[in-house]
Amino acid sequence: MCVFGLSKMIVGTEWLIEASGCDADSLRDESLIRGILESVIADLGLKAVGSVWHKFPGEAGVTGMIALTESHLACHTYPEHNIATFNLYCCRTRPEWNWEERLTELLGAENVSVTKIERGSNEIRIASAGGAE
C-alpha cells in the first residue's frame, strides 16, 4: 500500500460486471455488443486507441476488447448460459455508468451485478449496480 500523508495512492478503478438472464440472440449480435461498448466510451468520455473482436461460430457468443488511452474495456458473451461479462479499467476517476439500466434495456438482463475495485488501495469496495456502496 502506498501512503502519502493520510491518503492512499489509487492508480485506477476497475469495474467487473456480470449480466445474467440475458436474451441469447442479443448475446450473439456482434453489432449490438459493439454498440454497448461504444456507448460506454462515449458516455464516459473515454478514448479508444484500438480494438479486437471475435464472433464465435454458430450459436456461440462474441468477445471484444477495446484498448483505451485510460486502459481497457472488454466483453465476453455466453448465449448458452444467457450471461455477458464486462470489464472496464480506468486509470483516472470516472463517473459510474448505469450498467444495470442499460444492460437490462439492451440485453434483457434479469440481473446485473457490478463489482468496483479501486486499484492500488489494497482495499476492495464492492458496489451494487448503479454505484451504491
Q: What pLDDT is stored for residue 11 in this prediction?
A: 84
CA distance linking residue 12 with residue 72, whole number of Å: 11
Q: Write down the domain spans for the chain.
A: 10-119
Percent of the chain at pLDDT exceeding 70: 84
pLDDT band, residue 27 (cuts 50/70/90):
very high
The average pLDDT across 108-129 equals: 77
**Does residue 31 have an active-site annotation?**
no
The average pLDDT across 91-119 equals: 93
**Does residue 76 have an active-site annotation?**
yes
Q: Does residue 52 register a pLDDT over 80?
A: yes
Catalytic residue among 91, 113, 121, 128: 91
10 versus 71: which is more confidently predicted? 71
CA distance linking residue 109 with residue 20, whole number of Å: 6
**10-119: CATH number:** 3.60.90.10
**Residue whose entry in the numeric block shows the C-alpha cell 476517476:** 93
Catalytic residue among 2, 20, 72, 76: 76
CA distance linking residue 96 with residue 25, whole number of Å: 27
